[in-house]
């Protein structure tokens, strides 16, 4: 009994030490860089680059729409504690502006900074309909070449905030950029299956501009002629879209999984086009078909190609 009494404190200490979570640098979790991202897509890219060196909170849940986000008390606390906050930028997170002004104590980084932005007037669609996106089309992630810029911006910001892990962030960014380049090459191979004259897109709102520009697609029309899924088209605009789909024989309407499909269903009924659901503003649940950004793009491209070829 005496032997057990003497060794028990040591055993207890070793057990508690073994069960204490730690990152790959041997530090307890609360010493990691405190990071917040807005969308699940931004969060996935940040997580790939920050790895175990950061403690990451993603504000918008999978399936959430950035245009209609309502913050919770824990979101406010996370923003207040964050050393770095990553947003997609270009006005996408307008709903957060007041919250950020009131609670931000750390560095704010727009990951889309430096991208060749598609200006609103290039769309020819209601330039004044969505003033919060005055800087241009915010859906930059629909081209993985833009996400390479994201990765570089993220790695630089993390290194600035946490110089001790600079090499970790740089290495992770280089590896992830390699995956993005492979994704771009795969997309180009898939698109080759669709004859150029059939590369015509109709989507529920203006979310595919960067994809179309990079991979040689024509945007024939939009169910909602706006960058926001919450806008509403007029009867004349819907009639013009129906005419365009008939005239150009577009076989599919691409609908975001986060958007009410009622209007798109109406257009599909009037034209005979197929509704094809894609992921645009959010990932799926982690174990779903678009649980990461790369999975999202692969899923979308396969759905688009299969609907057009």
Q: What's the pLDDT at 229?
A: 60
Question: Is 41 inside any structural domain?
Answer: yes
Residue 82 CA: distances (Å) to CA of 75, 76, 156, 162, 282: 10, 10, 17, 13, 22
Whether 46 and 94 share a structural domain? yes
Name which residue leads in pLDDT, 22 or 309.
Answer: 309
Give the angle 211-295-280 at the CA atoms, nearest 5°: 45
Whether 272 and 168 share a structural domain? no
Name which residue leads in pLDDT, 67 or 117.
Answer: 117
Question: Is 175 inside any structural domain?
Answer: yes
Per-residue pLDDT band for 67 (boundaries 50, 70, 90) equals: low
Q: Can you tell me the mean pLDDT for 86-113?
A: 92
Average pLDDT, the chain: 86
In tens, the pLDDT along 158-181 reads 999 999 999 999 999 999 999 999
Whether 133 and 76 share a structural domain? yes
In tens, the pLDDT along 111-152 reads 999 999 998 753 333 333 444 445 799 999 999 999 999 999
- Alpha-carbon distance of 93 to 194, in angstroms, equals 34
Q: What's the pLDDT at 64?
A: 77
User: What residue numbers bound the domain in which 178 lies?
Assistant: 28-185
Q: What's the pLDDT at 41?
A: 97
Q: Can you tell me the mean pLDDT for 26-55?
A: 88
In contact, 49 and 154? CB cutoff 8 Å? yes
Indicate the pTM of the whole model: 0.84
Question: Domain boundary residue among 145, 167, 185?
Answer: 185
């Amino acid at each position: 009994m005496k032997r057990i009494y003497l060794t028990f404190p040591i055993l207890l200490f070793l057990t508690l030490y073994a069960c204490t979570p730690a990152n790959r640098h041997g530090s307890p979790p609360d010493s990691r860089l405190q990071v917040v991202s807005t969308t699940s897509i931004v969060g996935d890219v940040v997580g790939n680059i920050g790895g175990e060196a950061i403690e990451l909170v993603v504000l918008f849940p999978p399936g959430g729409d950035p245009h209609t986000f309502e913050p919770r008390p824990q979101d406010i606390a996370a923003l207040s504690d964050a050393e770095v906050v990553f947003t997609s930028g270009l006005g996408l997170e307008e709903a957060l502006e007041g919250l950020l002004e009131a609670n931000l104590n750390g560095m704010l980084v727009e990951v889309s900074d430096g991208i060749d932005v598609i200006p609103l007037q290039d769309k020819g669609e209601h330039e004044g309909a969505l003033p919060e996106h005055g800087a241009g089309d915010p859906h930059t992630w629909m081209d993985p070449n833009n996400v390479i810029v994201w990765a570089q911006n993220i790695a630089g910001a993390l290194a600035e905030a946490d110089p001790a892990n600079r090499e970790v962030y740089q290495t992770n960014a280089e590896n992830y950029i390699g995956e993005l380049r492979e994704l771009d090459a795969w997309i180009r191979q898939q698109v080759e299956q669709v004859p150029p004259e059939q590369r015509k897109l109709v989507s529920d709102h203006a979310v595919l501009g960067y994809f179309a520009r990079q991979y040689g697609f024509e945007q024939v029309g939009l169910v909602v002629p706006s960058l926001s899924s919450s806008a509403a088209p007029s009867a004349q605009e819907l009639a013009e879209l129906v005419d365009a789909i008939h005239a150009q024989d577009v076989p599919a309407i691409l609908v975001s999984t986060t958007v009410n499909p009622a209007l798109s269903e109406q257009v599909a009924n009037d034209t005979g086009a197929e509704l094809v659901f894609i992921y645009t503003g959010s990932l799926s649940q982690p174990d779903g078909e678009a649980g990461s950004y790369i999975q999202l793009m692969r899923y979308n491209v396969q759905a688009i190609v299969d609907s057009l070829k």
